[in-house]
Structure formats: C-alpha cells, structure tokens
Amino acid sequence: MNDHVERLAQERLNAAERELARRPAVTLGSTWRAFWRYPSPWMISAFIVGALTGRLVVAQWALSDLWAPLVFVALFPFIEWTIHVFILHWRPRRIAGAYVDTLLARDHRRHHAEPRDVPLVFVPWRSLIWVILIVGCALPIAVGLLVGASWGEILSYMLTEALALGIYEWTHYLIHSDYRPKSRAYKVIWRNHRLHHYKNEHYWFSITTSGTSDRVLGTHPDPAKVPTSGTAKNLHGEVA
C-alpha cells in the first residue's frame, strides 16, 4: 500500500508539472495583473493605504517606531507556520458537545483538494474582513495603548502587519499560478510548497521564506526520506 501511495503521489506531481510545462509561459507582469482580479488584494491594499495614511498624518517619527515592526518581521515566519499548522490544518472536532470547524479550515481543505482552483488560493474575503479589523487593527491598538505606545508606534506596527499580509497573499498566489520559477530563492519556496501539496501535508508549512520556520521547528525533512501521504489532497482523510 505504501508503494502504491508513493507511486500515485509521484504521478500526481509529475502530471502537474507536465501540465505546467505544456502551458504557454506567462510573465511576472501578466501574473501580477491577474492577481488584482480577486477581492483580497484590494482589501489588503486598503488596509495598507489606511495604515500608511494614518502614520503620515500622525508623524512624530522616532527610532522607537522600529522595535515592534522588527520583532514582528523576525517572528513572521513562525507566525505563518503556526497559522498554517493550527488554524488552516485544524481538524474538525467536538468540543463540549459542539462541533467546531471554521471557514478558513474548510476552505483550506478545499484548497488541498484542488490546488489549482485559483479563488481557493486566497484568504476567504469573509474571514479577511475580521482578520484586518481584529488582528490588524483592534488588537494592535488595544495592546499598544495598554503598554503605553504612541500612536506613531502603533500605526508603524499596523503598517508592517498589512505589508506582511500583502506579501503572503501575493507569494501564495504566485506559487499556485502558471509563472515558472526563475530565481534560485523563489524556486526553493515554490518547490517546498509543492512538496506540501503533493508529497506530505505534515511538512513544509513555510510560504514566504525558503523554509525558515520549517528548518527550526523540524518540518523540513529530506523529501526522499519522508513517506508520501495518502491524504495530501484530502486533509485528515475526511470530506472537506
């Protein structure tokens, strides 16, 4: 059975790469233009513009503006890993008698089932509204005011969050597009994510870096030594 699963997974990966090779080569520019056909890039852009405008209006520039953004940037690969593992790969379960599942987890299961279904590549817009309002705005403001941060420092942090969200969304879309890797750095990111989808969904959770968090947290093994999962396209072996 393991040999059979391994063969099927390799056939899926080979078929996907043959299909990509047959498609006309697309440019980075055309991929970028196609990216803007979907709602989440516009929503994230509004968040970026709002945070930037607020920061410019407040002014009061100081070196202390940098400490929270720098900490966030250093932690972002691990934040991304944690969200991918514990939120997107959430296994539906009953807690205190209630069946707990989320839109993000359901859509991510659908994404694994159909990695080339472009709308499923993006953060669901209904979830993104709350991500921006609560995680992007309300939480930084509340915590910032609680610790005595200035509005300039709070808005600098919010702007960093917004930019990181935009980079994540663009990188994930680019990986799943027909754009073929040209640089070595991007090829590593591209390959790692394809291993996550076609080889074993329990590894290679990084999206925007070349396995930074995976290497530290032990989820970046040698692909040749990892058994191929039979549930990479059907997370948890359940119907999405």
pLDDT of residue 91: 92
Check pLDDT > 70 for residue 16: no
Minimal CA–CA distance to 40: which of 173, 229, 235?
173
List, for residues 149-175, the tens digit of each pLDDT value. 999 999 999 999 999 999 999 999 999
How much of the chain exceeds pLDDT 70, in percent? 88
In a domain, 66, yes or no: yes
55 lies in some domain: yes
Query: Please, which pLDDT band fits residue 182 given cuts at 50, 70 and 90?
Result: confident
State the chain's mean pLDDT as an integer.
Answer: 90
Token pair recorded at residue 67: 């400490």
Total domains present in the chain: 1
Tell me the HSE value of 218 on the side-chain side, using a 13 A CA sphere. 0
User: What pLDDT is stored for residue 240 in this prediction?
Assistant: 42
Query: Is 56 part of a structural domain of the chain?
Result: yes
* Residue 149 covered by a domain: yes
- Indicate the pLDDT class of residue 113, thresholds 50, 70 and 90: very high
In a domain, 118, yes or no: yes
Q: Residue ranges of the alpha helices (H) in 84-180?
A: 103-113, 125-130, 139-146, 151-176
> What are 99's strand-pairing partners?
94
State the Cα–Cα distance between residues 136 and 106, nearest whole angstrom.
22
In a domain, 137, yes or no: yes
**Distance, first Cα to last Cα, the chain:** 24
For residue 240, tell me if it sits in a domain. Answer: no
Report the predicted TM-score, pTM, of the whole model to 2 decimal places: 0.87
State the Cα angle at 66 between 64 and 69, rounded to 5°.
130
Coil, strand, or helix at residue 99? strand
CA-to-CA separations, 25 to 17, 29, 101, 181, in angstroms, rounded: 13, 12, 39, 11
Residue 230 falls inside a structural domain: yes
Amino acid at 20: L
Q: In percent, how much of the chain has pLDDT > 90?
A: 72
Residues 129, 75, 121, 140, Cα dihedral to 10°: 0
* Domain around 199: 2-235
Q: Is the pLDDT of residue 1 over 60?
A: no
Q: Residue 17: pLDDT above 90?
A: no
Tokens 């059907």 — which residue? 234
Q: What local confidence, expressed as pLDDT, does residue 237 receive?
A: 76
**pLDDT at position 238 over 70:** no
The per-residue pLDDT for 143 is 96
